[in-house]
Amino acid sequence: MKKIMMMMATILALCGVLFIGSKQLSAQAGATTQANTLNLYNWGDYIDPALLKKFEKQTGYHVQYETFDSNEAMFTKIKQGGTAYDLAIPSDYMIEKMKKAKLLLPIDQQKLSNFKYLDQHFLDQSFDRGNRYSIPYFWGTLGIIYNDQQVKASEVQHWDDLWAPKWQNDLMLVDSARDILGMTLISQGQSVNTTDTAILNQASRKLDRLSINVKAIVADEIKTYMIQNEAPLAVTWSGEAAEMIEQNQHLHYVVPSEGSNAWYDNMVIPKTAKHQKAAYAFINFMLAPENAAQNAEYVGYATPNKAAKALLPRKIRDDRQFYPPLSTVEKLEVYQDLGATKVEQYNDLFLKFKMYRQ
Amino acid sequence: MKKSKQFFMVPYFLWIALFVVAPLLLILYQSLTDGQGHFTIQNYLTYGSSSVYLKMSLNSLWYAFLITVITLLISYPAAYILSRLKHQQLWLLLIILPTWINLLLKAYAFIGLFSRAGAVNHFLMFIGIGPKQILFSDFSFLLVASYIEIPFMILPIYNAIVQLDPALPNASRDLGASPWQTFRLVTFPLTLSGVKAGVQAVFIPSLSLFMLTRLIGGNRVITLGTAIEEHFLTTMNWGMGSTIGVILIVMMFVIMILTNDRKKKRREVLDDEKATH
**Do the beta carbons of residue B50 and residue A347 sit within 8 Å?**
no
Residue-wise pLDDT tens digits, A185-243: 999 999 999 999 999 999 999 999 999 999 999 888 899 899 989 999 999 999 889 88
Claim to verify: residue A340 and residue A208 sit in the same structural domain: yes
- The whole-angstrom distance between A329's CA and the closest CA on chain B is 28
Chain B 150-189, CB below 8 Å of chain A: which residues? none
Domain containing A238 equals: 151-261+333-355
Give first-to-last CA distance, chain A, whole Å.
Answer: 61
Among A352, A197, A156, A178, residue whose Cα is nearest residue A263: A178
Q: Are strands A134-147 and A233-237 parallel, antiparallel or unpaired?
A: antiparallel
Claim to verify: residue A313 and residue A337 sit in the same structural domain: no
ipTM above 0.90, yes or no: no
Claim to verify: residue A340 and residue A232 sit in the same structural domain: yes
Which of A327-341, B61-75, B186-200 has the lowest average pLDDT?
A327-341
- The whole-angstrom distance between B140's CA and the closest CA on chain A is 13
Q: At what angle do helices B51-82 and B238-276 cross, to 10 degrees?
A: 40
Per-residue confidence (pLDDT) for residue A333, from 0 to 100? 92
Domain boundary assignment for chain B: 54-225
Cα–Cα distance measured from residue A33 to residue B141, given in angstroms and rounded to the nearest whole number? 49
CA angle A46, A95, A145 (to 5 degrees): 50
Claim to verify: residue A309 and residue A339 sit in the same structural domain: no
Write down the CATH number for the domain with range B54-225.
1.10.3720.10
Claim to verify: residue A317 and residue A350 sit in the same structural domain: no
Number of other CB atoms surrounding residue A200 within 10 Å: 20
- The whole-angstrom distance between B112's CA and the closest CA on chain A is 10
Claim to verify: residue A246 and residue A350 sit in the same structural domain: yes
Claim to verify: residue A342 and residue A224 sit in the same structural domain: yes
Claim to verify: residue A339 and residue A243 sit in the same structural domain: yes
- The whole-angstrom distance between A225's CA and the closest CA on chain B is 8
Claim to verify: residue A348 and residue A233 sit in the same structural domain: yes
**Do the beta carbons of residue A267 and residue A89 sit within 8 Å?**
yes
A25 touches chain B (CB under 8 A): no
**Do the beta carbons of residue A301 and residue A140 sit within 8 Å?**
yes
Model confidence at B273: pLDDT above 70: no
Residue A328 lies in a domain: no
Residues of A in contact with B234 (CB under 8 A): 72, 177, 347
Claim to verify: residue A176 and residue A269 sit in the same structural domain: no
Among A23, A35, A31, A88, residue whose Cα is nearest residue A64: A31
If one counts the domains in chain A, the total is: 2
Claim to verify: residue A273 and residue A291 sit in the same structural domain: yes
* Cβ-based contacts under 8 A for chains A and B: 65
Residue-wise pLDDT tens digits, A12-62: 999 999 999 988 877 765 555 567 889 999 998 899 999 999 999 999 899
CATH of the domain at A68: 3.40.190.10
Claim to verify: residue A249 and residue A269 sit in the same structural domain: no
CB contact under 8 A, A347 and B230: yes
Residue of B nearest to A345 (CA): B235
Residue of A nearest to B240 (CA): A344
Cα–Cα distance measured from residue B190 to residue B108, given in angstroms and rounded to the nearest whole number? 39
From the list A72, A169, A343, which residue is nearest B133 (CB)? A169
From the list A72, A344, A352, which residue is nearest B233 (CB)? A72
CB contact under 8 A, A230 and B56: no
Per-residue confidence (pLDDT) for residue A29, from 0 to 100? 59
Q: How far is CA B169 from CA B56, B189, B191, B192, B246, in A?
A: 44, 12, 12, 15, 44
